Structure formats: structure tokens, C-alpha cells
Amino acid sequence: MKTDFLVIGSGAAGLSFALKAAEHGHVTLVTKGKMDECNTNYAQGGICSVTYAPDTFEKHIHDTLVCGAGKCDPAAVELVVRRAPELIRDLIAWGTKFDKTPDGRFELNREGGHTEHRILHHEDLTGAEIERALITSVRKHPNITVLEHHFAIDLLLGYPANLILTWNNRRRLDPKAWLLPFAALGLFAGMKCSRVLDEKWVRRLTSVLLVLSGVSLIAVNL
């Protein structure tokens, strides 16, 4: 299978990236179980975002830095806070339904550490609602292929193109790929031996390793 983008994991980060990347090419999303078996699905509280006055970005940044007690990267905090409203709009566009008041405004909660009401939520199942909306959008998108119950165990780069090795395809891997670890092991052994063997044996060992490495490279690229 060829793909333009590979996403491993089906939480909010993986699904939202898949939806954005799918506008630029084909996406393959791999997840070890069912799509909704992830941390996002079990998150309950809500999402912080500056939404209505009198809240401001500056207040949200200040509250976050105070609660972080010197552990936060101020630049990262500012980036996350200022981009939050944009990302909330993305979630809404993908179908997330945050709770609203009778007059149609978002029902914002205020939690510990916040000086303003800025917590968007869906009842007490915010994560499950976000996951539901993202999964629905991903399954509908024609440029996204989902592989459930595929456990990623390795990512091979440059053989001859990037390849994800899962429990499902590990037995189908081209046998020539297994020559690469032996070539690397030979090089490592040569470096170690050069410290303990005399010059004559180092030259002989180096010659043998060069021959083996050359043979393995030729075999891999046939």
C-alpha cells in the first residue's frame, strides 16, 4: 500500500491531522485497536479557549503561567492560547457539539486556576464527543484509509521507501530487508575490534566487513 501521509494513532491529534493532511494527499491511519479506544475518548472535563469578553488572550496566558509555577515555556503557552479559538472552530466544523445556553451562546465553565469562564464542554463527556465527531468525519473522507487492529512495532526508513512494520505485515516483509541489521552489526563489531586487535587483524577484518557490506547493499537494491 502506498500513501502520502502515515498517521499512527486515532486520538484527537491523529484524527485531526489526518483530516487536514487529507486535503493534500492520501492518508493511511493505523491504530492498534478500535478507533475509539484511545485517551481522547475517556477525557471528561472540557477545552479551554478564549471565547467571549471580558476574557482575553493575555488573561488566559497569565493564568496558565501562574498555574505552571515556572514550568511552562511562555512561547508555547502563547502559541497554544492564541490558536485555541481557531482549533475549536475546526472541531465544530467536523461536527463536535459543545453545550450551549438557551440563547445559543456556548455554555462556558470556570475551573480551578482560571479567572474567567472559558471551558467549552459537552456534558461531562467532552472527549467522547470530540472523538465521535472526528471518527465520523474521518470515515467519510475519501482520501483516508483506516487500518484498525494494526499494532505498529517498527518504522523502517529508506528501504526502498519508508515502510511501517505491523504485526499484520511483518511476515510479508521482503527477506532482503533482514540483511541490513547484519550489515550494521558488522560495522559495529569492526569498530570495537579495532581497539583490541593488532594492525594485521584489523586490516583483514576490515576487508571482510567491506565485502559483506557490499554484498548486502547489492542484494538489497536488486
Per-residue model confidence (pLDDT) at position 151: 87
Residues 99 and 198 in one domain: no
CATH number at residue 118: 3.50.50.60
82: containing domain: 5-147
Residues 39 and 82 in one domain: yes
What is the DSSP pairing of strand 47-48 with strand 119-120?
Answer: antiparallel
Domain-embedded: residue 30: yes
Domain-embedded: residue 165: no
Residues 191 and 143 in one domain: no
CA dist 106 and 119 (Å) reads 9
Q: Looking at the 3D structure of the chain, how many domains does it have?
A: 2
Per-residue model confidence (pLDDT) at position 155: 77
Q: In the chain, what is the straight-line distance between the N-terminal and C-terminal CA atoms, in Å?
A: 20
Residues 25 and 93 in one domain: yes
pLDDT along the chain (222 residues), means of 10: 92 98 97 95 94 98 97 98 98 98 97 96 96 98 96 72 57 53 63 64 71 64 51
Per-residue model confidence (pLDDT) at position 17: 98
Residues 136 and 61 in one domain: yes
Residues 17 and 93 in one domain: yes
Domain-embedded: residue 129: yes
Predicted TM-score of the model (pTM): 0.72
Residues 136 and 32 in one domain: yes
Residues 137 and 207 in one domain: no
Residues 73 and 32 in one domain: yes
Residues 132 and 82 in one domain: yes
74-93 vs 57-68: helix axis angle to the nearest 10? 120
